[in-house]
Amino acid sequence: MCKVIGIDISKASFDVAFQKKDEPFVYHKFPNNAKGFKTFLKVIDEGDHCVMEATGPYYLCLAYYLFDNEIKLSVVNPLQIKHFVRMRMVKAKTDKKDAKMISLYGLSEKPELWQPNEKYIMQLQLIHTATEGLNKQSTMLKNQLEAFRQLPDTDKEVIRTFKLLLKTIMSKITQLEKRMLDIVEQHYSKTFNSLKTIPGIGTKTSIILIAITNDFRKFEDIKKLSAYVGLAPRIYESGTSVKGKGHITKMGNKYLRKLLYICAWSAKRHNDQCKTLYERLSAKGKPERVIKIAIANKLLRQAFAIGTNLSSYDKKHEESLVY
């Protein structure tokens, strides 16, 4: 019988746990490096299924190693494991326990097999992560600079230093964004140009959509993409007495959700379908923020349809494009 091997991975090491039929769980610990990967391979039998969490960048080297060695592998969202553990009311948390719960999750849920992203998609995601970090640093420096300027006896050298740092960071952000544009135009030009035909969707949003969706090959349908971005509605009802207000999940990609929300401001004026949606919801008395979220979801649906079909936006046929 094939084993489901749970892997709890960290920067320096990874713990594995598996069970053979009704025998007790077996545990191992390996260093998170090439030597550890090679040793781990010895405990894997033909047909075994490895399951791990997408833990920052630490899982990638092992994931690629297992994939290259034709080992069945699933990489799951840590939130899925967290909810699985919570449902079983498990209180103890150790690396061994986490590996065991990941193994049990794999046995119970049978997650889909992992496929690595293309080389250039990985580059886009890496550059995007770097620019996000630099943007956070620039915001922090701007806030500190403004606070220093309010002091009665401000040190001019401190002000000059912060201005120079800000200038350097903004320059690097511009360079990295230009690098992302170059990659997309060179390798994903058809998708990029198709997305930009959607009124309200601009260059930056098109690039991020391509990077996050693996050029629209990562998600089978719009519902999964909408849930990933965090625009899927969350229904809160129970029986006849509990009927909470519906909200978006907010558990997905915050950056893309923010971009789509900003795009909604333009789309409500220039995108015919979004304009109709805005007028309909506004007539019902819906709050502006709720309408903008609905438009953001509509834009995501249009982007998914056009990105998967590699077609151009056509307002005469937009109803058939959006699904």
Query: Range with the lowest mean pLDDT among 58-67, 87-96, 304-313?
Result: 87-96
Give the pLDDT mean for 94-101. Answer: 93
**192-214 mean pLDDT:** 95
pLDDT for res 291: 93
pLDDT in the model for residue 316: 55
Supply the CATH classification number for the domain 4-109: 3.30.420.40
- Residue 215 near residue 188 (C-beta atoms within 8 A): yes
Closest CA to 305 of 313, 295, 316, 293: 313
Q: What is the pLDDT of residues 270-316, one digit of tens each?
A: 999 999 999 999 999 999 999 999 999 999 999 999 999 888 887 65
Distances in Å between the Cα of 74 and the Cα atoms of 5, 15, 49, 77, 110 are: 10, 16, 8, 10, 9
Q: Give the total residue count for the chain.
A: 323
pLDDT of residue 220: 87
* Dihedral sign of CA atoms 56, 57, 61, 63 in order: positive
Q: What percent of the chain has pLDDT over 90?
A: 69
Strands (E), 193-285: 233-234, 237-238, 242-243, 247-248
pLDDT given at position 315: 63
pLDDT band, residue 262 (cuts 50/70/90):
very high
Determine the pLDDT at residue 234: 55
